């Protein structure tokens, strides 16, 4: 079995590029390897955790979104064999290609936190990083009448770096509206060093943190959880580099799991030193194998990993891949654009947009560092519609 173009992963990135490529040339022989029968709209899971979005509305059949003209191989890639232009699948099939697009997303490493897999989804331990636990997040919030709610943020690359804060601000607003601000203590324990990397947006977020009386602790990495004892252990790195452990009691613990490139990418010849697919950050073409391209969460560009980034990467990749197929030099460039629609409360959102150099690259002709109801409407109603009807169809 061999394709002109083979795509690894039929998520946001895989389906977007497949649809765009087939719109440009319906005759392309294109295969998509994707193991999941379901496709998920992950950006809505923070709203599921906040009790304002039904998780069922974030899940649809993959089959309904495979673009016409593409062939879906319901299997998973196990090994890349770039010297032979083939991949080996979990079912033991060898599939060949002329050009390969690698976009299997990011891996959630729940097991890296001791005790977490046993207690996730019970004992007040929840996460919006999975459709399985996002509804439980709201249950935890509803049941929280007093005590401490801790929100973690993992150090290292994660998808949607703003998600750990979005759910925290929804929780803060929920607690304030329930009149429980004096009874429930909120803590943000982050492996990072700042609330947001761009001062323009950080300024607004510091005010939001103050509004909900959230205590912030940086350089705190969650390493262990005991659900029954309701204890979370953090590795704390002091400014002088010394490391200690601290145990915190919780009544609700929202987890952002540590994340990495999927193991089968990390352990392949395609990976860079950090494990991601080693592509040029402007052209998205592999640095060693010119017939391989990558985009989305698994790719090695130093942008913030979001679906919004995928939207800007996809047309660049499509243009460069078609050029490479014609024997031309890829010349389209991705500028590192990413966006983070940070929910700051029910009906409130700050839309951060920026490039590789952390320069704001805003879409709207107003100051996007302000919290706005209109931007909430965009996130809650408009973006999900655009995702299913335009982005996955290759028209946006
Ligand atoms: C809680 C949360 C909130 C978010 N909020 C936002 C937001 O507000 N805005 C925003 O822009 N983005 C947001 N994101 C991020 C966004 O969902 C991702 O960046 C986006 O889905 C990345 O697309 P992708 O195709 O690279 O990965 P995915 O969409 O995750 O797709 C990867 C696909 O690869 C498949 N796959 C895995 N392994 C294999 C294999 N071995 N072989 C073949 N296929 C494989 C998977 O089954 C999956 O379908 C959020 C994510 C989460 C979890």
Helices (H), 153-196: 163-177
Q: Which of 10, 211, 239, 3 is nearest to 103 (CA)?
A: 10
What is the DSSP annotation of 57-95?
GGEEEGGGGSPTTEEEE-S-EEEEETTTTEEEETTS-EE
Q: How many CB atoms lie within 10 A of CB 246?
A: 12
Is residue 195 within 8 Å of 344, Cβ to Cβ?
Answer: no
Nearest CA to ligand 1 atom 40: 76
The alpha carbon of 381 is separated from its chain's Cα centroid by a whole number of angstroms, namely 19
What are the structure tokens assigned to 120, written together?
């996730």
The reported pLDDT for the residue numbered 292 is: 98
State in Å: Cα 216 to ligand 1 middle.
Answer: 28
Within 154-270, strands assigned E span 184-190, 214-217, 220-226, 231-237, 243-249, 252-254, 259-260
| HEC readout, 327-378 | CCCCCCCCCCCEEEEEEEECCEEEEEEECCCCCECCCCCCCCCCCEHHHHHH
Supply the pLDDT for residue 386.
98
Ligand 1, residue 8: give the atom nearest the CA.
Answer: 43
The position carrying tokens 């400014």 is 239
Bridge partners of 292? Answer: 100
* Cβ–Cβ < 8 Å for 211, 173: no
CA of 387 to the centre of ligand 1 (A): 13
Return d(Cα 131, Cα 248) in angstroms, integer. 27
Q: pLDDT of 342-358, one tens digit each?
A: 999 999 999 999 999 99
- Dihedral sign computed on CA atoms, order 276, 341, 252, 212: positive
Whose CA is closest to 125, among 105, 97, 151, 147? 151
- Report yes or no: 222 and 154 within 8 Å, Cβ to Cβ: yes
Pull the structure tokens for residue 294: 């990558």
The segments of the chain whose pLDDT lies below 70 read: none
Residues with CB under 6 A from ligand 1: 8-14, 33-36, 42-43, 45-46, 76-77, 103-105, 128-129, 159-160, 163, 262, 264, 296-298, 305-308, 310, 341
Tell me how far the alpha carbon of residue 106 lies from the centroid of ligand 1, in angstroms.
Answer: 7
Mutate to test the pocket of ligand 1, among 78, 91, 104 (most ligand atoms within 8 A of CB): 104
**Which residue owns the Cα nearest ligand 1 atom 50?**
43
Q: Length of the chain, please?
A: 396
Q: Give the chain's domains with CATH numbers.
A: 2-106+261-336 (3.50.50.60), 109-259 (3.50.50.60)
For residues 277 and 300, give the distance between their C-alpha atoms in angstroms, rounded to a whole number: 5
Percent of the chain with pLDDT over 70: 100
User: Residue 96 class from Cβ within 10 Å (0-12 exposed, 13-18 middle, 19+ buried)?
Assistant: middle
CA–centroid distance, 185 to ligand 1, in Å, is 32
Known catalytic residues?
160, 340
């Amino acid at each position: 079995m061999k394709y002109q173009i083979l795509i690894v992963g039929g998520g946001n990135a895989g389906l977007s590029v497949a649809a765009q490529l087939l719109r440009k040339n319906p005759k392309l022989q294109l295969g998509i390897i994707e193991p999941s029968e379901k496709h998920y709209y992950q950006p809505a899971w923070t709203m599921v955790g906040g009790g304002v979005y039904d998780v069922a509305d974030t899940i649809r059949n993959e089959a309904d979104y495979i673009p016409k003209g593409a062939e879906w191989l319901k299997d998973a890639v196990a090994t890349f064999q770039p010297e032979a232009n083939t991949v080996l699948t979990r079912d033991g099939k060898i599939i060949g290609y002329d050009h390969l697009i690698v976009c299997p997303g990011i891996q959630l490493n729940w097991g890296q936190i001791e005790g977490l897999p046993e207690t996730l989804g019970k004992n007040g331990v929840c996460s919006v990083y999975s459709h399985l636990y996002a509804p439980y997040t709201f249950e935890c919030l509803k049941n929280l009448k007093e005590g401490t709610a801790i929100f973690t943020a993992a150090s290292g690359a994660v998808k949607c770096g703003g998600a750990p804060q979005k759910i925290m601000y929804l929780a803060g607003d929920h607690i304030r509206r329930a009149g429980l601000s004096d009874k429930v203590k909120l803590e943000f324990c982050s492996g990072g060093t700042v609330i947001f990397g761009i001062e323009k947006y950080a300024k607004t977020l510091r005010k939001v943190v103050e509004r909900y009386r959230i205590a912030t602790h940086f350089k705190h990495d969650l390493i262990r959880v005991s659900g029954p004892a309701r204890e979370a252990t953090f590795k704390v790195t002091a400014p002088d580099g010394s490391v200690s452990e601290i145990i915190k009691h919780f009544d609700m613990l929202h987890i952002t799991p540590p994340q990495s490139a999927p193991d089968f990418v990390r352990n392949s010849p395609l990976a860079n030193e950090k494990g991601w697919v080693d592509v040029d950050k402007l052209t998205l073409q592999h640095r060693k194998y010119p017939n391989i391209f990558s985009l989305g969460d698994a790719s090695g560009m130093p942008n913030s990993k979001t679906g919004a980034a995928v939207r800007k990467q996809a047309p660049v990749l499509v243009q460069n891949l078609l050029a490479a197929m014609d024997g031309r030099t890829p010349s389209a460039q991705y500028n590192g654009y990413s966006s983070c629609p940070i929910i700051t409360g029910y009906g409130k959102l700050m839309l951060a947009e920026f490039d590789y150099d952390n320069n704001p690259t805003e879409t709207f002709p107003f100051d996007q560092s302000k919290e706005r109801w209109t931007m909430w409407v965009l996130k809650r109603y408009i973006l999900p519609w655009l995702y299913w009807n335009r982005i996955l169809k290759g028209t946006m």
